[in-house]
Structure 1
Amino acid sequence: MADEDLVKRMQHLGMSPRSRNVRATLSTELLEIDGRTLEGGGQLLRLSLTLSALISRPVHISNIRGKRKPKPGLKAQHLACVQWLARACNTTVVGAEKGSTDLVFTPGKVNGNSPVYTKSITKAVWDSKVEIGTAGSTGLLLQAILPFILFSPPRSETGEAETVRLAVSGGTNVSGAPSYDYIANVLLPTLTSIGFPPVSASLEKRGWSSGRESIGSFTLLIPPRPPGALAAFKLCRQPNETSPQSPSMITAKLIAPPDLHQDFTDAVISFVAWRFGEKHTLFHRNLTIDCEASDSTAHLYLLITSTVTPPPSQPDVASYFLAADHLPERKIPPARQSKYVIDAVTRCVNELCALWTSGARADEHLRDQLVVFQALAEGRSEVFGGDGREISLHARTAEWVAKQMLGVRCQEDGIEGIGFGANCFDP
């Protein structure tokens, strides 16, 4: 893409090249990315494509998912990301087929709003949809698509950013991936804490990768963020903090056959009081338990979250959300399910308590999902992962991609972002 096209694209997104040397900071040359680097999985692909689409830089990704032996290459979920982002910026794509281990992604010229947005009959709302076609993870898919929407929303005829209603279908509860429940109760509230307007989520149907595979669906309503760059954010300890503040709320969610609900409830009440203190009870209204009936004995999932809300004396300190969850990789025989649920509650409560006592502001899964927002924010953003808890390979991979694509400086305690969307101009 020519530099002039890149400048026009940035202007449409609210980025003024007049006070930034765009040609010097964001190259339009083809960037080579080796998909075997570090974690060597799908995250590297998703983040590379998201940033490529946002800054209009062509990218060649070789050895896609090269460390996912014996089946590397694009799966349905990755292909859905490629196709949606390609349509979003009129991309020329080579290698977009199932099983492909080599992809060239060259963003094209977009006049006006992206083709992935369709004007709704609802005022100031645009519709978009993405369908995986299998029970592939919708939580992983959102890692590619949600940042693009948040930083490249559709605009009205007068240039004002407007809301996107995103319809998503695929797997909502998939082994080894963020669940719909994690997205709705951890990721989206965290995005609000770091400066985005609240994104609402509405589940229509669950989709499972375990047992009999099924395809689910949900909708996100994504309001536009304020003009300009996302301000740098800090999810880290406060000065002179000697111990973490007690959670203002602990929430336990179970999806399982109804005969397991009471066992789950009893276990949560007991273990939460043991690890977090006897004042965390249903009576004190700082513990909530939600049990949902699943449609199969093979479908079982639990998520336990803690919300820490700063006191009124710290209005500038953001709330933070910690979580631990569990989804069995294989079906549990009915006779063993009760003990299995109790053991899973024990593990999740222990893991959540360890996170909280370490002073962490994000679990390891959330931490790697926040890297893209750190890289695109203006200034130095910090996310503390807890005492004695090393940064995960996924997070290191995300930082590596951001450095290759954007030239950001990543250090152990923070990332200096580029300020994408800064210096808004008056159209």
Structure 2
Amino acid sequence: MLVIDGSEGEGGGQVLRTCLSLATLTGRPFRLVNIRAGRRKPGLRPQHLTAVRAAAAICQARLSGAHLNATTLEFYPQSEPQAGHYRFDVTEAAGQGSAGSVMLVLQTVLWPLLFANRPSHITLLGGTHVPFSPSYHYVAKVACPAFARFGVDWQLALEAWGWYPAGGGKVTAVISSVSHLQAVAFTPQPITQVAGIAAVTNLPAHIPQRMARRAHNLLADAGLKPHIEAVRERGRAPGAGIVLWTTGGGASALGRKGLPADKVAETAVAEMLAFVQNGAAVDKHLADQLLLPMALAQGSSSFTTNELTNHTLTNARLLHQWLEIPIQIEGEPGKPAHIQVKGIGFTRST
């Protein structure tokens, strides 16, 4: 059994999610200790426990330590990934309302279900736009096009917004099956346009309009052509935020009581311009998310990123530990970097 120390590197939930994806794909059991040791509240939180249960459902895994706040988990796959209709609700793990990220749960099961023998239909309930997690729109507008270049075929739909702390969001996905992933060399693309959405639920319409207007003006001043949509939706509770995206990168900011709408927009624009003006192929968040498909692909994949994060470094070390693949990283933490990965050429069992 592979034993992984969750305190190494960034010490967060990404170690758990990568282990779950790879164990479900390969059938290899693992024992994870010191789960999320680097966080203020270590152990399995509702979204992490939901990811564990989701991966286990797909491969009928036997579990030990699968409960809230657990710091050690054992995961024993009992079958290859099984396609089907699945429903994963973060509130069931929490025992109450929760805004745990459904997008992180979805990314845990995406890679195993891609290699199932038929399409799968997934319904996820919880947080769709929450702190410290990729939002629905980031995944749909930035990650999806990048994943498609590997041959990933999936469709996403946002059926209800879920903000922190109330949750109540709903995302559905249809994941088609593939036999293999193809290698991709991501190269910098000229960026002239930025799209986005400024949204609120259960709040006045002038708030998203102010966020959109401020983001539009700042992006235009930087020489870009912005298209920012302002929307007012219904949800379980009040919430506000803005998400921006362009080829290879995105940025977002969430509102909170007392924070002016203009300031929310300025935060997102500053992050977007940091990526655009660097000239890298992918942003620091997508860099982390690309490593797993690169490791599974047939051939060598590569990209440049505007910032090498501890998340990316941790995931690279973990993938090497699981798959023993060569990963070349040129660059220093916190600075631009070039990464190349020679994939194992994983294929679906027949």
TM-score scaled to structure 1, two decimals?
Answer: 0.73
Per the TM alignment, residue 276 of structure 1 is displaced from its structure 2 partner at its CA by 2.4
Equivalent in the alignment of 1:208 = 163
Equivalent in the alignment of 1:164 = 120
Assess if the C-alpha contact under 8 Å between 2:283 and 2:305 holds in 1.
Answer: yes
- Larger relative strand fraction: 2
Equivalent in the alignment of 1:129 = 87
Per the TM alignment, residue 297 of structure 1 is displaced from its structure 2 partner at its CA by 8.3
Task: Tell me the distance in 2 between the aligned counterparts of 1:202 and 1:177.
Answer: 18
Equivalent in the alignment of 2:47 = 77
Equivalent in the alignment of 1:292 = 232
Q: CA deviation digits over 1:72-102, x for unaligned, max 9?
A: 1111111111112122222221111111111
Higher relative contact order (CA 8 A, sep 6+): 1
Assess if the C-alpha contact under 8 Å between 1:77 and 1:138 holds in 2.
Answer: yes
Let me know the Cα RMSD of the aligned residues: 2.1
Task: Tell me the distance in 1 between the aligned counterparts of 2:8 and 2:77.
Answer: 23
Equivalent in the alignment of 1:217 = 170
1:68 pairs with 2:39: yes
Per the TM alignment, residue 294 of structure 1 is displaced from its structure 2 partner at its CA by 5.4
Q: Which amino acid aligns with 2:131?
A: S
Per the TM alignment, residue 266 of structure 1 is displaced from its structure 2 partner at its CA by 2.5
Assess if the C-alpha contact under 8 Å between 2:208 and 2:261 holds in 1.
Answer: no
Task: Tell me the distance in 2 between the aligned counterparts of 1:365 and 1:47.
Answer: 15
SS of the residue corresponding to residue 305 of structure 2 reads: coil
1:364 pairs with 2:284: yes
Q: Which amino acid aligns with 2:215?
A: V
Equivalent in the alignment of 2:190 = 245
Q: Which amino acid aligns with 1:101?
A: T
SS of the residue corresponding to residue 396 of structure 1 reads: helix
* Bigger radius of gyration: 1
TM-score scaled to structure 2, two decimals?
Answer: 0.88
Equivalent in the alignment of 1:181 = 137
Q: Which amino acid aligns with 1:49?
A: L
Q: Which amino acid aligns with 1:99?
A: N
Equivalent in the alignment of 2:95 = none
Assess if the C-alpha contact under 8 Å between 2:64 and 2:73 holds in 1.
Answer: yes
SS of the residue corresponding to residue 378 of structure 1 reads: coil
Q: CA deviation digits over 1:292-326, x for unaligned, max 9?
A: 345588411101112xxxxxxxxxxxxx3321100
Q: Which residue of 126, 138, 142 corresponds with 2:106?
A: 142
1:409 pairs with 2:326: yes
Assess if the C-alpha contact under 8 Å between 2:215 and 2:265 holds in 1.
Answer: yes
Q: CA deviation digits over 1:359-379, x for unaligned, max 9?
A: 222211111111111111112
Task: Tell me the distance in 1 between the aligned counterparts of 2:71 and 2:311.
Answer: 20
1:302 pairs with 2:242: yes
Task: Tell me the distance in 1 between the aligned counterparts of 2:6 and 2:220.
Answer: 45
Assess if the C-alpha contact under 8 Å between 2:168 and 2:236 holds in 1.
Answer: no
Per the TM alignment, residue 192 of structure 1 is displaced from its structure 2 partner at its CA by 1.4
Equivalent in the alignment of 1:270 = 217
Q: Which runs of 4+ in 1 moved over 6 A?
A: none
Unaligned runs of 5+ in 2: 92-97, 330-338
Residues 74, 261 of structure 1: CA spacing in aligned structure 2 closer, same or farther, 3 A cutoff?
closer
SS of the residue corresponding to residue 239 of structure 2 reads: coil
